[in-house]
Amino acid sequence: MTLVEINFDGLVGPSHNYAGLSLGNLASASHGGDPSYPRAAALQGLDKMRHNLALGLVQGFFAPLPRPNDGFTAALGVLDAGDPAQVRLRAAAWSASAMWTANAATVSPAPDTADGRCHLTAANLVTMPHRSHEWPDTVRQLRLAFAATAHFAVHDAVPACFGDEGAANHMRMAAHHAAPGIELFVYGRPGGRFPARQHEQASRAVARLHGLDPARTLFIEQSGEAIAAGAFHNDVVAVANERVLFTHEAAFADPEGT
Task: Give strand ranges (E) for the chain.
Answer: 6-10, 58-62, 105-108, 118-122, 152-155, 170-173, 182-187, 217-221, 238-241, 244-247
Q: Annotate 157-191 with DSSP letters as a single string.
A: PPPTTS---GGGGEEEE-SSTTS--EEEEEE--SS
Predicted pLDDT at 1: 65
Question: Is there a domain that residue 134 lies in?
Answer: yes
Range of the domain at 217: 6-247
Residue-wise pLDDT tens for the chain (258 aa)? 678 899 999 999 999 988 878 777 777 778 888 899 999 999 999 999 999 999 999 999 999 999 999 999 999 998 777 788 788 889 999 999 999 999 999 999 999 999 999 999 999 999 999 999 999 999 999 999 999 999 999 999 999 999 999 999 999 999 999 999 999 999 998 877 878 889 999 999 999 999 999 999 999 999 999 998 888 899 999 999 999 999 999 999 999 999
**pLDDT given at position 78:** 86
Whether 47 is in a domain gets the answer yes
Domain membership flag for residue 144: yes
Total tally of structural domains belonging to the chain:
1
Burial classification of residue 148, based on how many CB atoms lie within 10 Å of its CB (0-12 exposed, 13-18 middle, 19 or more buried): exposed
Q: How far apart are CA 242 and CA 176, in angstroms?
A: 5
Domain contains 167:
yes
Strands of the sheet containing 152-155, edge to edge, are: 105-108, 118-122, 152-155
How high is the pLDDT of residue 25?
77
CA distance 137 to 101: 13
This prediction has a pTM of 0.93
Has residue 256 been placed in a domain? Answer: no
Q: Indicate whether 253 belongs to any domain.
A: no
Measured CA to CA in angstroms, residue 99 lies from 37, 45, 106 at distances of 14, 10, 15
Query: Looking at residue 211, which CATH number applies to its domain?
Result: 3.75.10.20
Complete edge-to-edge strand list for the sheet that includes strand 217-221: 170-173, 182-187, 217-221
Residue 254 resides in a domain: no
Helix (H/G/I), strand (E/B), else coil: 236: helix
Domain assignment present for 89: yes
- Please tell me the predicted confidence (pLDDT) of residue 38: 95
Q: How far apart are CA 25 and CA 45, in angstroms?
A: 22
CA distance 122 to 113: 17
